[in-house]
A and B are shown apart, each in its own frame.
Chain A
């Protein structure tokens, strides 16, 4: 599978990263290099193999459904690039 320029633009769009038109060709070449190298996995017989999602061979723990944290708006907002009162501020979304 090889990526064309349109697919590179589509992925960048999905990832919400602005890519300059001049960078598309270089990225296309780099990504295809990596994907081409990854193709070697097609050699492996994975029929009847269950996928492994993580290295922790344990069941997820249950916990009380209770509020155990919170109530410090200023700490939560201390790194906000922009705020309005107790809220994060962003450019206008709805006209």
Chain B
């Protein structure tokens, strides 16, 4: 067995038993990155020297018996998390030269616990996208292949496409991501791995390049539910630097993965059936419900009547917040500068040169919906619809402990598909966006394959700050699914 095939939990235990060293693990992953990253483009920056230094420190800590929970675990960090002294681009030309003088809270928490950072993962520019096609540093190749069309290059999903592809292809044991409308869960589903968007406020946003502040959620990717639980425990926690950080205890999520689902009530929202959704996704969803029923859960029909309006409301709220957050990129204090005749000319040229097409579209939509005369018709109405979406979840959680839905309406699509119309790309997030609007936790767990041999995920949605139930339900599906398929492109293959 190759070291890159270990799960994060197995690697942790092997490190503690002295069966492997952090140096072994770091070198194995760096070799895999060297071999496969030129093709997959999952990393935009590889920090090999730093990884080896951190691994040496982890080996020393392990020898002294002072190792943190993640000592020696090699991870990929989405290039949206500021990393001190390591370039952080957010997938954008406008931040291409930016080297943060500080560390984000989430990545600092991982370093505190002994993690090793292999590099910065590729992503859609400013986390706006569902395919990773909108990165200024080129697309990411999904390591999975269609059986019937092996030549097609598939997308890994987005926006955290590099993180998901790296974990699936064994170029990292786990990764950080962020999820504003589905950017952890949809790529996890497309790449056959697990990923959780925790409750809003669970992981600090401090030092994470902002897209839409009321919707942005940092969270982890892993190849198993347990690996996600281990990572989330380290990433989470109260942070006075983030005004919306929740001052609540961080439970032992790993222990929750072992909890039985017997007696839990699992809701099936009837509105999560979409026209044109492949039948195999519908069948997998039913299969997932059967698995939970077989383990003693009770399945209950519920209604989330405003689901269909989630996306449209999101495409007002998110661009509005983005247009405000991205106003800081002006070519004056950091990032790209295009010289101009005067200050205004400098702003306009810098922002035209620095932002890609999708980011520009969203800034313009956001500027419009916030402009005088249109605020009430668009932005205020969207915020009211958001309140109704939250109420849907609150009402449903009065009757059930968690919800089960598909993660995405399709398996991974090919590069170039869904590119002709922005709304087609937006529809990828139809099942994931409502949880961002409401701030409730959601997790994608790989549950099966489509007829082309591509992975499909199921989504577990839970009550605010009840990630433990989400982990126990996701782990129950993982156990029953016995998902053992592997991507064609992976370390050693």
Contacts and interface: CB of A to CB of B under 8 A. Distances in A.
B422 A33 contact: yes
Given A14-B371, A17-B363, A31-B368, A80 B333 contact: yes
Interface in B320-358: 323, 327, 330-337, 339-349, 351-352, 355
Contacts of B351: 15-18
B384 A91 contact: no
Nearest to A46: B384
A78 interface: yes
Interface in A9-63: 11-12, 14-19, 27, 30-31, 33-35, 37-38, 40-44, 46, 49-58, 60-61, 63
B364 A41 contact: no
B246 to A, nearest CB: 7
B200 A79 contact: no
Interface in B356-382: 360-361, 363-365, 367-368, 371, 374, 377-378, 380-382
B240 interface: yes
A11 to B, nearest CB: 5
B437 A41 contact: no
A12 B368 CA distance: 9
B287 interface: no
Contacts of A43: 309
B138 interface: no
B156 interface: no
A90 B332 contact: yes
A41 B382 contact: yes
Taking residues whose C-beta sits less than 8 angstroms from the other chain, chain A's interface range is 35 or more
Given A16-B330, A34-B315, A91-B341, A40 B346 contact: no
Nearest to B366: A15
B385 interface: yes
Contacts of A72: 101
B306 interface: yes
B363 A15 contact: yes
Contacts of A6: none
Given A15-B351, A63-B240, A79-B97, A49 B388 contact: yes
A85 interface: no
B244 interface: yes
Nearest to A50: B387
A71 to B, nearest CB: 13
B237 to A, nearest CB: 15
B464 interface: yes
B52 to A, nearest CB: 25
Nearest to A16: B347
B352 A19 contact: yes
A1 interface: yes
Nearest to A7: B368
B130 to A, nearest CB: 15
Contacts of B332: 80-81, 88, 90
A11 B340 contact: no
B342 A58 contact: no
Contacts of A67: none
Given A16-B330, A27-B364, A52 B383 contact: yes
A28 B330 CA distance: 24
Contacts of B386: 51-52
B452 interface: no
Contact of A51 (B200, B201, B387, B421): B387
Given A11-B364, A79-B335, A56 B439 contact: yes
Nearest to B342: A91
Contacts of A79: 97-99, 101, 333-335
A84 interface: no
Contacts of A63: 240
A12 B383 contact: no
A66 interface: no
Interface string B80-111: 00000000000000000111010000000000
Contacts of B302: none
B386 to A, nearest CB: 4
Nearest to B361: A30
Contacts of B101: 72, 75-76, 78-79
A78 B99 contact: yes
26 contacts: A3-B368, A7-B368, A8-B364, A11-B371, A14-B367, A14-B371, A15-B364, A17-B363, A27-B361, A31-B361, A31-B364, A31-B368, A33-B422, A40-B312, A41-B381, A44-B306, A44-B384, A52-B387, A53-B214, A54-B244, A55-B201, A56-B200, A61-B240, A79-B98, A80-B334, A90-B346
Given A37-B315, A41-B312, A46-B385, 12 more contacts: A15-B364, A17-B364, A18-B349, A34-B365, A35-B368, A37-B312, A41-B385, A51-B384, A54-B200, A55-B201, A91-B342, A91-B343
Interface of A: 1, 3, 7-8, 11-12, 14-19, 27, 30-31, 33-35, 37-38, 40-44, 46, 49-58, 60-61, 63, 72, 75-76, 78-82, 88, 90-93
